[in-house]
Amino acid sequence: MSPEAARHAGGGLQAALGGKPYVLANIGDDADVAFVSRDVTGLSTKHAVLPHTQRFHDALRSAPSLKWVHAHSSGADRPVYGDLIARGVAVTTSSGANAGVVVQTALAGVLMLARCFPQLLAAQRNRSWAPLVGSGLPRDLAGQTAVIVGWGPIGRGMASLLAALGLHVVAVRSTDGAAEPPASETVSYERIGEVLPRADWLVLCCPLTERTRGLIDAAALARLPAGVRLVNVARGEVAEEPPLIDALRRGALAGAYLDVFAHEPLPAESPLWDMPNVIVTPHTAGHSDGNEMRVAAIFLDNLRRWTEGQPLLNRV
Protein backbone atom coordinates (compact mmCIF):
# COMPACT_ATOMS: atom_id res chain seq x y z
CA MET A 1 0.00 0.00 0.00
CA SER A 2 0.98 3.61 -0.34
CA PRO A 3 1.93 5.47 2.85
CA GLU A 4 -1.46 7.22 2.88
CA ALA A 5 -3.32 3.94 2.44
CA ALA A 6 -1.17 2.36 5.13
CA ARG A 7 -2.11 5.13 7.55
CA HIS A 8 -5.79 4.56 6.83
CA ALA A 9 -5.32 0.81 7.11
CA GLY A 10 -3.46 1.19 10.38
CA GLY A 11 -6.25 3.25 11.90
CA GLY A 12 -8.84 0.76 10.71
CA LEU A 13 -6.81 -2.10 12.07
CA GLN A 14 -6.35 -0.47 15.45
CA ALA A 15 -10.10 0.07 15.71
CA ALA A 16 -10.79 -3.48 14.54
CA LEU A 17 -8.55 -4.88 17.26
CA GLY A 18 -10.03 -2.70 19.96
CA GLY A 19 -6.88 -0.62 20.34
CA LYS A 20 -4.63 -3.65 20.95
CA PRO A 21 -0.97 -3.33 19.88
CA TYR A 22 -0.17 -4.44 16.35
CA VAL A 23 2.71 -4.43 13.93
CA LEU A 24 2.69 -3.94 10.15
CA ALA A 25 6.26 -4.47 8.98
CA ASN A 26 8.36 -5.85 6.17
CA ILE A 27 9.29 -9.49 6.49
CA GLY A 28 12.65 -9.98 8.17
CA ASP A 29 13.86 -13.32 9.38
CA ASP A 30 10.38 -14.50 10.32
CA ALA A 31 6.71 -13.54 10.42
CA ASP A 32 3.34 -15.07 11.25
CA VAL A 33 1.31 -13.05 8.73
CA ALA A 34 2.31 -11.35 5.47
CA PHE A 35 0.45 -8.99 3.17
CA VAL A 36 1.67 -9.05 -0.44
CA SER A 37 0.69 -5.54 -1.52
CA ARG A 38 1.04 -3.80 -4.87
CA ASP A 39 4.24 -2.26 -3.46
CA VAL A 40 5.71 -5.77 -3.51
CA THR A 41 4.62 -6.80 -7.00
CA GLY A 42 4.65 -3.38 -8.69
CA LEU A 43 4.11 -3.74 -12.43
CA SER A 44 5.85 -7.10 -12.57
CA THR A 45 4.16 -10.04 -14.22
CA LYS A 46 4.29 -13.77 -13.77
CA HIS A 47 7.09 -14.04 -16.33
CA ALA A 48 9.11 -11.00 -15.30
CA VAL A 49 9.44 -10.92 -11.51
CA LEU A 50 11.22 -7.82 -10.25
CA PRO A 51 14.25 -8.32 -7.95
CA HIS A 52 12.54 -6.88 -4.87
CA THR A 53 9.48 -9.03 -5.59
CA GLN A 54 11.66 -12.12 -5.76
CA ARG A 55 13.34 -11.19 -2.48
CA PHE A 56 9.95 -10.89 -0.82
CA HIS A 57 8.84 -14.23 -2.25
CA ASP A 58 12.05 -15.83 -1.00
CA ALA A 59 11.44 -14.32 2.44
CA LEU A 60 7.95 -15.84 2.46
CA ARG A 61 9.31 -19.25 1.55
CA SER A 62 11.97 -19.13 4.27
CA ALA A 63 9.88 -17.71 7.15
CA PRO A 64 9.47 -20.71 9.50
CA SER A 65 6.53 -19.31 11.50
CA LEU A 66 4.47 -18.09 8.54
CA LYS A 67 0.84 -19.16 8.88
CA TRP A 68 -1.12 -16.85 6.60
CA VAL A 69 -0.39 -14.74 3.50
CA HIS A 70 -2.83 -12.31 1.92
CA ALA A 71 -2.43 -11.22 -1.72
CA HIS A 72 -3.60 -7.92 -3.15
CA SER A 73 -4.55 -9.71 -6.38
CA SER A 74 -7.74 -11.62 -7.09
CA GLY A 75 -5.78 -14.67 -8.23
CA ALA A 76 -3.06 -16.71 -6.57
CA ASP A 77 -1.44 -18.40 -9.57
CA ARG A 78 2.13 -17.23 -8.91
CA PRO A 79 4.35 -20.19 -8.00
CA VAL A 80 5.11 -18.83 -4.52
CA TYR A 81 1.51 -19.32 -3.41
CA GLY A 82 1.46 -22.96 -4.45
CA ASP A 83 4.71 -23.49 -2.53
CA LEU A 84 3.22 -21.91 0.59
CA ILE A 85 -0.05 -23.84 0.39
CA ALA A 86 1.93 -27.08 0.03
CA ARG A 87 3.59 -26.47 3.40
CA GLY A 88 0.30 -25.63 5.10
CA VAL A 89 0.31 -21.83 4.95
CA ALA A 90 -3.14 -20.28 4.47
CA VAL A 91 -3.31 -18.08 1.36
CA THR A 92 -6.13 -15.61 0.80
CA THR A 93 -6.78 -13.24 -2.08
CA SER A 94 -8.53 -9.95 -2.65
CA SER A 95 -11.12 -11.51 -4.95
CA GLY A 96 -13.97 -9.07 -5.48
CA ALA A 97 -11.97 -5.90 -4.81
CA ASN A 98 -11.72 -5.01 -8.49
CA ALA A 99 -14.57 -7.17 -9.78
CA GLY A 100 -16.82 -4.23 -10.59
CA VAL A 101 -14.05 -2.52 -12.55
CA VAL A 102 -13.23 -5.69 -14.51
CA VAL A 103 -16.91 -6.20 -15.30
CA GLN A 104 -17.16 -2.65 -16.65
CA THR A 105 -14.07 -3.18 -18.81
CA ALA A 106 -15.22 -6.58 -20.10
CA LEU A 107 -18.62 -5.12 -20.94
CA ALA A 108 -16.88 -2.30 -22.81
CA GLY A 109 -15.02 -4.96 -24.80
CA VAL A 110 -18.27 -6.72 -25.67
CA LEU A 111 -19.95 -3.49 -26.74
CA MET A 112 -16.97 -2.30 -28.79
CA LEU A 113 -16.84 -5.59 -30.67
CA ALA A 114 -20.61 -5.79 -31.06
CA ARG A 115 -20.76 -2.26 -32.45
CA CYS A 116 -17.74 -2.69 -34.73
CA PHE A 117 -15.59 -0.10 -32.96
CA PRO A 118 -12.26 -1.57 -34.15
CA GLN A 119 -13.34 -0.97 -37.74
CA LEU A 120 -14.85 2.43 -36.96
CA LEU A 121 -11.73 3.63 -35.14
CA ALA A 122 -9.54 2.41 -38.01
CA ALA A 123 -11.74 4.38 -40.40
CA GLN A 124 -11.38 7.45 -38.18
CA ARG A 125 -7.57 7.19 -38.25
CA ASN A 126 -7.77 7.00 -42.05
CA ARG A 127 -10.22 9.95 -42.19
CA SER A 128 -12.60 7.60 -43.97
CA TRP A 129 -16.39 7.96 -43.74
CA ALA A 130 -17.47 4.33 -43.41
CA PRO A 131 -21.01 3.97 -42.03
CA LEU A 132 -21.93 0.46 -40.97
CA VAL A 133 -24.96 0.44 -43.24
CA GLY A 134 -22.56 0.08 -46.13
CA SER A 135 -20.24 -2.54 -44.67
CA GLY A 136 -22.57 -5.05 -43.05
CA LEU A 137 -24.99 -4.25 -40.26
CA PRO A 138 -24.03 -5.54 -36.79
CA ARG A 139 -26.34 -8.06 -35.17
CA ASP A 140 -28.63 -7.13 -32.31
CA LEU A 141 -27.22 -8.31 -28.99
CA ALA A 142 -30.66 -9.27 -27.70
CA GLY A 143 -31.27 -12.95 -28.35
CA GLN A 144 -27.60 -13.90 -28.60
CA THR A 145 -25.98 -16.43 -26.26
CA ALA A 146 -23.06 -15.65 -23.96
CA VAL A 147 -21.08 -18.55 -22.48
CA ILE A 148 -19.42 -17.17 -19.37
CA VAL A 149 -16.53 -19.24 -18.02
CA GLY A 150 -16.08 -18.58 -14.30
CA TRP A 151 -18.84 -17.85 -11.81
CA GLY A 152 -17.14 -15.64 -9.27
CA PRO A 153 -17.90 -11.94 -8.73
CA ILE A 154 -16.79 -11.05 -12.27
CA GLY A 155 -18.69 -13.83 -14.00
CA ARG A 156 -21.89 -13.15 -12.09
CA GLY A 157 -21.54 -9.40 -12.67
CA MET A 158 -21.08 -9.89 -16.40
CA ALA A 159 -24.03 -12.28 -16.49
CA SER A 160 -26.32 -9.69 -14.88
CA LEU A 161 -25.39 -6.97 -17.36
CA LEU A 162 -25.53 -9.19 -20.43
CA ALA A 163 -28.87 -10.65 -19.36
CA ALA A 164 -30.17 -7.09 -18.94
CA LEU A 165 -29.17 -6.49 -22.57
CA GLY A 166 -31.28 -9.47 -23.60
CA LEU A 167 -28.62 -12.16 -23.96
CA HIS A 168 -29.14 -15.78 -22.99
CA VAL A 169 -26.45 -16.65 -20.40
CA VAL A 170 -24.79 -20.04 -19.90
CA ALA A 171 -22.48 -20.40 -16.89
CA VAL A 172 -19.42 -22.63 -16.95
CA ARG A 173 -18.06 -23.14 -13.45
CA SER A 174 -16.24 -25.59 -11.20
CA THR A 175 -19.30 -27.76 -10.48
CA ASP A 176 -22.47 -28.88 -12.22
CA GLY A 177 -25.74 -27.99 -10.61
CA ALA A 178 -28.94 -26.06 -10.90
CA ALA A 179 -28.75 -22.87 -12.91
CA GLU A 180 -28.17 -19.76 -10.80
CA PRO A 181 -29.93 -16.70 -12.22
CA PRO A 182 -29.25 -14.75 -14.32
CA ALA A 183 -27.74 -17.84 -16.00
CA SER A 184 -30.38 -20.08 -17.49
CA GLU A 185 -28.13 -23.15 -17.43
CA THR A 186 -24.90 -24.30 -15.82
CA VAL A 187 -22.22 -26.83 -16.74
CA SER A 188 -18.85 -27.74 -15.24
CA TYR A 189 -15.52 -26.91 -16.86
CA GLU A 190 -15.25 -30.48 -18.11
CA ARG A 191 -18.56 -30.16 -19.97
CA ILE A 192 -17.81 -26.88 -21.72
CA GLY A 193 -17.74 -28.65 -25.09
CA GLU A 194 -21.48 -29.24 -24.79
CA VAL A 195 -22.35 -25.54 -24.82
CA LEU A 196 -19.69 -24.04 -27.09
CA PRO A 197 -21.60 -24.82 -30.33
CA ARG A 198 -24.38 -22.48 -29.15
CA ALA A 199 -22.16 -19.53 -28.22
CA ASP A 200 -22.20 -16.12 -29.83
CA TRP A 201 -19.89 -14.78 -27.10
CA LEU A 202 -17.29 -16.62 -25.06
CA VAL A 203 -16.34 -14.63 -21.96
CA LEU A 204 -13.41 -15.91 -19.89
CA CYS A 205 -13.26 -14.67 -16.30
CA CYS A 206 -12.24 -17.78 -14.35
CA PRO A 207 -9.23 -18.30 -12.08
CA LEU A 208 -6.19 -20.06 -13.52
CA THR A 209 -6.08 -23.58 -12.10
CA GLU A 210 -5.07 -26.97 -13.40
CA ARG A 211 -8.68 -27.42 -14.54
CA THR A 212 -8.80 -24.16 -16.50
CA ARG A 213 -5.27 -24.04 -17.92
CA GLY A 214 -5.62 -24.57 -21.67
CA LEU A 215 -9.39 -24.99 -21.34
CA ILE A 216 -9.91 -23.12 -24.61
CA ASP A 217 -7.63 -25.13 -26.86
CA ALA A 218 -7.78 -25.95 -30.56
CA ALA A 219 -10.48 -28.56 -29.98
CA ALA A 220 -12.64 -26.14 -27.99
CA LEU A 221 -12.23 -23.40 -30.60
CA ALA A 222 -13.23 -25.85 -33.32
CA ARG A 223 -16.55 -26.43 -31.54
CA LEU A 224 -17.47 -22.76 -31.71
CA PRO A 225 -19.74 -21.66 -34.56
CA ALA A 226 -18.49 -19.12 -37.09
CA GLY A 227 -18.79 -15.53 -36.02
CA VAL A 228 -18.17 -15.97 -32.29
CA ARG A 229 -16.38 -13.21 -30.40
CA LEU A 230 -14.15 -13.90 -27.40
CA VAL A 231 -13.40 -11.78 -24.32
CA ASN A 232 -10.57 -12.80 -21.98
CA VAL A 233 -10.15 -11.01 -18.65
CA ALA A 234 -9.08 -14.20 -16.86
CA ARG A 235 -5.50 -15.32 -17.51
CA GLY A 236 -3.73 -15.76 -20.81
CA GLU A 237 -3.07 -19.43 -20.17
CA VAL A 238 -6.81 -20.23 -20.08
CA ALA A 239 -6.93 -19.84 -23.88
CA GLU A 240 -4.08 -21.39 -25.87
CA GLU A 241 -2.65 -18.56 -27.93
CA PRO A 242 -1.45 -20.25 -31.18
CA PRO A 243 -4.85 -21.79 -32.06
CA LEU A 244 -6.55 -18.58 -30.93
CA ILE A 245 -4.43 -16.53 -33.31
CA ASP A 246 -5.09 -19.02 -36.08
CA ALA A 247 -8.85 -18.86 -35.53
CA LEU A 248 -8.76 -15.05 -35.65
CA ARG A 249 -6.68 -15.06 -38.83
CA ARG A 250 -9.04 -17.46 -40.57
CA GLY A 251 -12.13 -15.57 -39.45
CA ALA A 252 -13.41 -18.56 -37.49
CA LEU A 253 -13.48 -16.09 -34.61
CA ALA A 254 -15.03 -12.79 -35.65
CA GLY A 255 -13.13 -10.81 -33.02
CA ALA A 256 -11.60 -10.74 -29.56
CA TYR A 257 -10.97 -8.42 -26.66
CA LEU A 258 -7.83 -9.64 -24.87
CA ASP A 259 -6.52 -8.12 -21.64
CA VAL A 260 -4.32 -11.07 -20.59
CA PHE A 261 -1.72 -13.13 -22.42
CA ALA A 262 0.45 -16.19 -21.98
CA HIS A 263 3.54 -13.95 -21.93
CA GLU A 264 3.36 -10.45 -20.48
CA PRO A 265 4.21 -7.89 -21.64
CA LEU A 266 2.85 -9.11 -24.96
CA PRO A 267 5.88 -9.38 -27.26
CA ALA A 268 6.12 -6.66 -29.89
CA GLU A 269 6.27 -9.30 -32.62
CA SER A 270 2.92 -10.85 -31.64
CA PRO A 271 0.46 -10.73 -34.56
CA LEU A 272 -2.31 -9.86 -32.09
CA TRP A 273 -1.17 -6.22 -32.02
CA ASP A 274 -2.08 -5.60 -35.67
CA MET A 275 -5.17 -7.74 -36.16
CA PRO A 276 -8.08 -5.55 -37.27
CA ASN A 277 -10.60 -7.66 -35.32
CA VAL A 278 -8.68 -7.67 -32.00
CA ILE A 279 -8.62 -5.21 -29.11
CA VAL A 280 -5.49 -5.52 -26.95
CA THR A 281 -5.07 -3.95 -23.50
CA PRO A 282 -2.06 -4.45 -21.15
CA HIS A 283 -3.59 -6.50 -18.31
CA THR A 284 -5.31 -3.39 -17.06
CA ALA A 285 -8.98 -4.40 -16.96
CA GLY A 286 -9.10 -4.21 -13.17
CA HIS A 287 -7.08 -1.04 -12.55
CA SER A 288 -8.85 1.77 -10.71
CA ASP A 289 -7.99 4.37 -8.10
CA GLY A 290 -10.42 2.81 -5.61
CA ASN A 291 -8.88 -0.67 -5.62
CA GLU A 292 -6.19 0.00 -3.01
CA MET A 293 -8.64 0.83 -0.26
CA ARG A 294 -10.95 -2.06 -1.19
CA VAL A 295 -7.99 -4.45 -0.95
CA ALA A 296 -7.01 -2.93 2.41
CA ALA A 297 -10.58 -3.41 3.68
CA ILE A 298 -10.56 -7.10 2.68
CA PHE A 299 -7.20 -7.61 4.38
CA LEU A 300 -8.33 -5.83 7.56
CA ASP A 301 -11.52 -7.89 7.69
CA ASN A 302 -9.50 -11.07 7.38
CA LEU A 303 -6.97 -9.87 9.94
CA ARG A 304 -9.82 -9.34 12.38
CA ARG A 305 -11.02 -12.86 11.62
CA TRP A 306 -7.48 -14.15 12.13
CA THR A 307 -7.18 -12.59 15.58
CA GLU A 308 -10.64 -13.92 16.55
CA GLY A 309 -10.04 -17.43 15.23
CA GLN A 310 -12.72 -17.18 12.55
CA PRO A 311 -12.50 -18.73 9.06
CA LEU A 312 -10.68 -16.53 6.54
CA LEU A 313 -12.52 -15.23 3.49
CA ASN A 314 -11.25 -15.83 -0.08
CA ARG A 315 -9.03 -18.69 1.04
CA VAL A 316 -7.39 -20.47 -1.87
Render pLDDT for 192-243 as a digit per residue (tens, 0 to 9).
999 999 999 999 999 999 999 999 999 999 999 999 999 999 999 999 999 9
Residue 38: predicted pLDDT: 86
Q: Which residues are designated catalytic? A: 235, 264, 283
Burial of 98 by CB count in 10 Å (0-12 exposed, 13-18 middle, 19+ buried)?
buried
For the chain, list the strands marked E by DSSP: 33-36, 68-71, 90-92, 145-149, 168-173, 185-188, 201-204, 228-232, 253-258, 278-280
Record: fold of 99-280: Rossmann fold (3.40.50)
**Total-model pTM:** 0.87
pLDDT tens digits along 130-154 = 999 876 799 999 999 999 999 999 9
Q: CA of 13: how far to CAs of 73, 125, 151, in Å? A: 20, 51, 31
CA 82 to chain CA centroid, Å, is: 18
Residue 122: predicted pLDDT: 96
Residue 136: predicted pLDDT: 79
Higher-pLDDT residue of 159 and 43 is 159
Q: Is the pLDDT of residue 2 over 60?
A: no
Q: Is the pLDDT of residue 49 over 80?
A: no
Residue 46: predicted pLDDT: 57
CATH code 3.40.50.720 region(s) in the chain = 99-280
**Share of residues in the chain with pLDDT > 70 (%):** 88
What's the mean per-residue pLDDT of the chain?
A: 90
Q: Is the pLDDT of residue 285 over 60?
A: yes
pLDDT tens digits along 65-80 = 999 999 999 889 889 9
Higher-pLDDT residue of 44 and 267 is 267
Residue 11: predicted pLDDT: 45
Q: Is the pLDDT of residue 48 over 80?
A: no
CATH number of 3-97+289-308: 3.40.50
Residue 45: predicted pLDDT: 56
Residue 123: predicted pLDDT: 95
CA max distance for the chain:
70
Residue 4: predicted pLDDT: 41
